[in-house]
């Protein structure tokens, strides 16, 4: 009866190449998550600015709405570094209001402006 010799070289585990591929894929995934997080942060900041602009413009429009038609006038104001410019145009039996809110920008970037328009009866 012949004896057969079996090799015991197959050991469970991972090779160095498999480990390097896994680490590379993991690193690429983490970089993708970091990029996505930055994009979400920028979108959130833009949304916050839009909400602030809407609140500032809404307050101005409500103040103008509470005034009589003859007292409604155009103007400008700066609050906490945020510039606001509004125009009032008289129309038949109403006033058209356009309010532009401009936020200061980071170094080297253009300021961000939002404009809201409304009409109010006299």
Q: Please say whether the beta carbons of 94 and 122 come within 8 A.
A: yes
Residue 73: inside a domain, yes or no?
yes
Residue 52: inside a domain, yes or no?
yes
Q: Which helix (H) or strand (E) holds 33?
A: helix 16-66
pLDDT at 8 over 70: no
Give the number of other Cβ atoms within 10 Å of residue 7's Cβ.
5
Give Rg (Cα) of the chain: 32
- The reply to whether the predicted model has a pTM over 0.75 is no
Residue 8: inside a domain, yes or no?
no
pLDDT tier at 80, thresholds 50, 70, 90: confident
Give the number of domains in the chain: 1
* pLDDT for the residue numbered 117: 92
Residue 7: inside a domain, yes or no?
no
What are the pLDDT digits (tens) for 30-62? 999 998 998 888 888 888 888 988 999 999 999
Residue 1: inside a domain, yes or no?
no
Q: Which domain holds residue 46?
A: 16-121
């Amino acid at each position: 009866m012949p004896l057969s010799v079996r090799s015991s070289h197959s050991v469970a585990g991972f090779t160095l190449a498999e480990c390097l591929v896994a680490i590379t894929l993991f690193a690429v995934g983490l970089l993708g998550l970091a990029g996505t997080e930055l994009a979400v942060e920028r979108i959130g900041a833009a949304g916050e600015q839009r909400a602030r602009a809407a609140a500032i413009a809404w307050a101005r429009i409500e103040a103008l709405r509470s005034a009589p038609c003859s007292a409604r006038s155009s103007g400008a104001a700066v609050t906490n570094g945020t510039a606001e410019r509004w125009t009032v145009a008289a129309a038949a039996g109403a006033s058209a209001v356009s309010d532009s809110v401009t936020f200061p920008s980071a170094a080297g970037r253009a300021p961000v402006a939002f404009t809201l328009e409304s009409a109010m009866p006299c």
